[in-house]
């Protein structure tokens, strides 16, 4: 794939010609290829997050659905204006407001789609297919609901039940998944890309090699988390001995799904597993996904330390500003502060 992309887009003349053709025909696959090559070139060899590429690919296809069919488009990619893009955002916001209808879209996804379209136009400008970027100056809609209201953590009353929830069939693996998310705060991509060797029990440490933005970090393992991971490693070794896993698959978290047994678990598979357990312990449908576990870890860390720098270090945040949301997520912290203020009067 990389060689194909390089041969197509490396030459400036060929790049412009192919980009013009892809834009004129509104070819989603070719436009995604161009954007992928552009991002790889601009990151100077650092790996672009697969999740980012997937999000941008979905954004491009959604945008092309709006601009119209390739044979008779309502909007030309080469002549798109800021007003046209505003119309796309209004169209997307209307879909978000009527999320029960087909083609449902969360309001937060509208911004994600704009980021994808903006990245596409940076790539088209770089390739020489367009002379101006219509996305400049266009802002994503803000969700009026505060982030700490929209993005909730697992309550303390449900946390222990969640960690104890894994069914006997896949208990060791699923307990490891829940611990990696709800205790250690790993992102979905970080979890599925862990290798067996990244769990360093002798050092009581977890090596996260594929963090956001290509950054690595090392997370100390508390005793309970180390025990859960040690148990899964023991079970995993038993699967290798039984021939259910091959030596070529070194991923820590593997699939038990028929036809994919022993292969690395995908982020979609990870999300399905996590959501099942969140539902089992009685949490509502709007509390789903691996990031709910990560928010839970961040909230617990802040509650225990009251130190945003510690939270940022363990979760791999570039800034403590990002970590500040966990202070608002924890109702207990705010209640304690109010009670302390009453006692101080």
DSSP per residue, 71-127: TS-SS-GGG--HHHHHHHHHHHHHHHHTTTSSS---HHHHHHHHHHHHHHHHHHHHH
DSSP conformational letter for 208: E
Q: Which of 38, 113, 277, 326 is catalytic?
A: 326
Q: Which of 15, 118, 173, 187 is catalytic?
A: 187
Q: Is 317 a catalytic residue?
A: yes
Q: Is 294 a catalytic residue?
A: yes
Q: Is 98 a catalytic residue?
A: no
Q: Is 291 a catalytic residue?
A: yes
**Which tokens go with 308?**
């945003």
Distances (CA, A) of 33 to 1, 27, 117: 9, 10, 14
Bridge partners of 199? 206
Report how far residue 108's alpha carbon sits from residue 146's, in angstroms, rounded to the nearest whole number: 12
Q: Is 212 a catalytic residue?
A: yes
Q: Is 326 a catalytic residue?
A: yes
Q: Which of 209, 276, 291, 328 is catalytic?
A: 291
Burial 171-209 (b: 16+ CB within 10 A, else e): ebbbbbbbbbbbbbbbbbbbbbbbebebbeeeeeebebe
Report how far residue 251's alpha carbon sits from residue 194's, in angstroms, rounded to the nearest whole number: 6
Q: Is 60 helix (H, G, I), strand (E, B) or coil?
A: helix
Burial 54-64 (b: 16+ CB within 10 A, else e): ebbbbbbebbb
Report how far residue 23's alpha carbon sits from residue 131's, in angstroms, rounded to the nearest whole number: 13
Distances (CA, A) of 98 to 85, 144, 281: 20, 16, 29
The order of strands in the sheet holding 217-220 is 199-200, 205-208, 217-220
Q: Which of 91, 93, 212, 249 is catalytic?
A: 212
Q: Which of 118, 294, 295, 300 is catalytic?
A: 294
Beta strands, E only, the chain: 199-200, 205-208, 217-220
Q: Please identify every residue annotated as catalytic.
A: 187, 212, 291, 294, 317, 326
């Amino acid at each position: 794939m990389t060689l194909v992309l390089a041969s197509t887009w490396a030459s400036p003349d060929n790049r412009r010609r192919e980009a013009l053709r892809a834009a004129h025909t509104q070819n989603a696959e070719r436009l995604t290829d161009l954007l992928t090559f552009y991002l790889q070139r601009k990151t100077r060899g650092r790996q672009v997050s697969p999740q980012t590429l997937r999000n941008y690919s979905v954004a491009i296809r959604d945008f092309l659905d709006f601009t119209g069919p390739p044979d008779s488009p309502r909007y030309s990619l080469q002549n798109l204006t800021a007003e046209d893009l505003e119309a796309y955002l209004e169209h997307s916001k209307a879909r978000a407001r009527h999320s029960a209808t087909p083609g449902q879209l969360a309001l937060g996804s509208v911004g994600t789609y704009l980021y994808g379209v903006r990245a596409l136009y940076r790539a088209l400008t770089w390739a020489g297919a367009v002379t101006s970027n219509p996305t400049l100056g266009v802002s994503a809609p803000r969700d009026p609901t505060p982030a700490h209201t929209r993005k909730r953590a697992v309550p303390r009353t449900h946390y222990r039940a969640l960690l104890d929830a894994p069914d006997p069939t896949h208990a060791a693996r699923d307990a490891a998944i829940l611990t990696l998310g709800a205790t250690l705060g790993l992102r979905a991509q970080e979890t599925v890309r862990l290798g067996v060797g990244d769990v360093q029990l002798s050092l009581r440490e977890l090596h996260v090699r594929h963090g956001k933005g290509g950054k690595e970090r090392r997370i100390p393992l508390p005793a309970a988390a180390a025990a859960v991971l040690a148990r899964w490693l023991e079970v995993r070794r038993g699967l290798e001995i039984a021939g259910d896993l091959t030596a070529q698959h070194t991923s820590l978290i593997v699939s038990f799904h028929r036809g994919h047994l022993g292969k690395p678990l995908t982020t979609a598979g990870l999300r399905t597993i996590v959501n099942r357990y969140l539902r089992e312990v009685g949490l509502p449908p709007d509390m789903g996904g691996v990031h709910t576990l990560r928010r839970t870890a961040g909230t617990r860390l802040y509650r225990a330390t009251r130190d945003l720098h510690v939270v940022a270090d363990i979760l791999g945040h570039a800034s403590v500003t990002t970590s500040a949301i966990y202070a608002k997520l924890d109702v207990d912290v705010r209640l304690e502060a109010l009670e302390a203020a009453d006692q101080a009067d």
